[in-house]
Amino acid sequence: MEYFQEWFIEFFKTFFTDLWNIIRGFFVGLYNLTIGYPIKYFKMLVEQSELFNIIDWILSIVFIVVFLFLIILIYLVIIQLVRRYLRFSKIEYDKMTLLNQMNLLERKVREGNIVNIQTPKVNTPSNKRDTTRVKGNRFTKLNLIDEKYKYTKLPTLMTDKDRLSLSELVTHFRNYAAYHHQLYYNEQVAATFFAGLATSKILILEGISGTGKTSLPYVFGKFINNDASIISVQPSWRDRYEMMGYFNEFTKKFNETEFLSSVYEATFRTDINIVVLDEMNLARVEYYFADFLSLLELPNSDEWQLEVVSEQQIGDPVNLKEGKIKIPENIWFVGTANNDDSTFAITDKVYDRASSISMNEKAVPFEGIDLPKVNISYEYLNDLFEKALNSYEISKSNMNAITKLDDHISKTFQITFGNRIMRQLETFVPVYVACGRSEVEGIDYIIARKIIRKFETLNLPFLKKELEELVVMFDNLFGKDKLKESKTMILKFINQV
């Protein structure tokens, strides 16, 4: 018995001594690695360098630089491996948690006899029912996007050459388009495009064929090093499922569209993403795009959640949360529209929520300058918009004139600016001015596109006198020949009477 006691006591004394040596050795090693050994190496260099000549010093410095570079590289590799391991562990943990929750729910359902869950029979000797579920990847394209980006957001690397002002971006873009793509846009169209990006997530480019409506977002994507996704709208589109895709109950796969893939890929990016709905009014926009029109109106972008599938399953894309995709802030939807007999009229519901750009004239060709593409992050572009709002707020005199004009149009024509159009006006005009254009020109554009356009629905033959008075009021409030576009539209209405 006493021999056992001696061995037992000696064992634990040795065990705790060894454990303490391990712990102490870890901290001693950490100290030596970060402080002790560097001091030791430095002392060695000081002692040996007393006899160094110039060549010895040069070789020593080169060696130290290379050595430090290798050490830093090793540290970075270790850190990256640890980060990947932690990220992988989190994904696996989330999968296991979800699987456990699904199994628990299935057990509760079976025990409560709430739903008769059918499981497939398999040909086994015991002829028993197989209760296991095999979860396949029902989102082939979206899972490939996950792998492409390694489940991590791609940072946008900007240099000093990329940090341009809004007016410089307008000039840079026009010259790039002209020189590299032989596409010509005047300053007003380019400035309106940038101001439209600040005003709404939805842009409408409309006009006659051949004026560069589709080419504008296409070349802009080239300009910012992120190609625009061009989606051809089909006349058969009646709801968002034809645009985004749907779950096929027969194949148990989700029919993924290019539109859905483009929106999903934007969730992994931090730069500007453009999705073009080419000839968007071949189908009724307010039908297939209704959910986006409503969601993008919400002031809190965290609420821009769109349901893709009714429930989450193991193997679903990482950025689908509870079957929903969050529309990212760094994406814009640009629709092109031709006004002819083969298309539907775009309703006020769509126009009021979008920034529209009229492109009825081909720009005059000019000799562009060979300027490079730019890398621009959503955060940087948004900062430019915020600075413009703070620096170029609409003047009090023009705001007073807008208020008087709103009162007159509301009483005479029963058409009002409304809160939404006023918010757009207060955003569009400052950014338009920051792009190098005039304040009154920006006001004129919004009035023409948002207010005067609605006069088409009025009984114009009985309003000739009121229209003529409105033209005079324009001159009195803003100066003679200032609201050129608005006056041109009204004079066109008068001539049609």
Q: What is the DSSP letter of 328?
A: P
With a pLDDT cut of 90, the percent of the chain lying above it is: 61
3-state helix, strand, coil in the chain (%, to 5): 60, 10, 30
Confidence at residue 98, expressed as pLDDT on a 0 to 100 scale: 66
Answer with the residue of higher pLDDT: 228 or 93.
228
Of 102-116, 137-151, 280-294, 473-487, least confident by mean pLDDT is: 102-116
Strands 320-321 and 324-326: antiparallel
Q: Each residue of 379-399: b (16+ CB within 10 Å) or e?
A: ebbeebbeebbeebebeeebe
How far is residue 305's CA from residue 337's CA, in Å, rounded to a whole number?
27
- Cα torsion 133, 324, 145, 91: sign: negative
For residue 244 the two structure tokens come to 């985004």
Calpha distance 95→103 (Å, rounded): 12
Tokens of 80: 């990256």
For the residues 175-187, what does the mean pLDDT come to?
94
| Cβ neighbourhood burial of 182 (10 Å; 0-12, 13-18, 19+) | exposed
Mean pLDDT of the 35-63 span: 82
Coil, strand or helix: which one is 155? coil
**Residue 96 confidence class, pLDDT cut points 50, 70, 90:** low
Phi, psi of 408 (to 5 degrees): -65, -45
Q: Tell me, what's the pLDDT at 286?
A: 93
Cβ neighbours for 12, distance < 8 A, ≥ 6 positions apart:
none
Residue 103's pLDDT is 55
Flag whether the pTM goes above 0.85: no
Q: What's 35's DSSP letter?
A: I
Tokens of 110: 């079976």
- Please name the residue that has the structure tokens 């002819």: 340
Q: Rg (Cα) of the chain, in Å, rounded?
A: 33
Query: Does 120 score more than 50 pLDDT?
Result: no
Q: What angle do CA 170, 171, 172 make, to 5 degrees?
A: 95
pLDDT at 102: 61
Q: State how beta strands 273-278 and 245-248 pair.
A: unpaired
284, 239 in Cβ contact below 8 A? Answer: no
pLDDT of 333: 97
pLDDT tens digits, residue range 308-359?
Answer: 998 888 889 999 999 999 999 999 999 999 877 778 989 999 999 999 998 8
In 233-255, which positions are buried (b, 16+ CB within 10 angstroms) versus exposed (e)?
beeebeebebbbbebeeeeeebe
Q: Would you tell me how many other CB atoms lie within 10 Å of the CB of residue 93?
A: 10
Please report which confidence band the pLDDT of residue 109 belongs to, taking 50, 70 and 90 as the band edges.
low
More confident residue, 57 or 239: 239
Average pLDDT on 167-182 reads 96
> Of 192, 190, 117, 483, whose CA–CA distance to 354 is shortest?
192
Segment holding 168, helix H or strand E: helix 166-181
The three-state secondary structure class of 349 is helix
- In whole angstroms, what is the distance from residue 247 CA to residue 372 CA? 43
Out of 25-39, 81-95, 458-472, least confident range: 81-95
Q: Give dist(CA 231, CA 274) in Å, integer.
A: 11
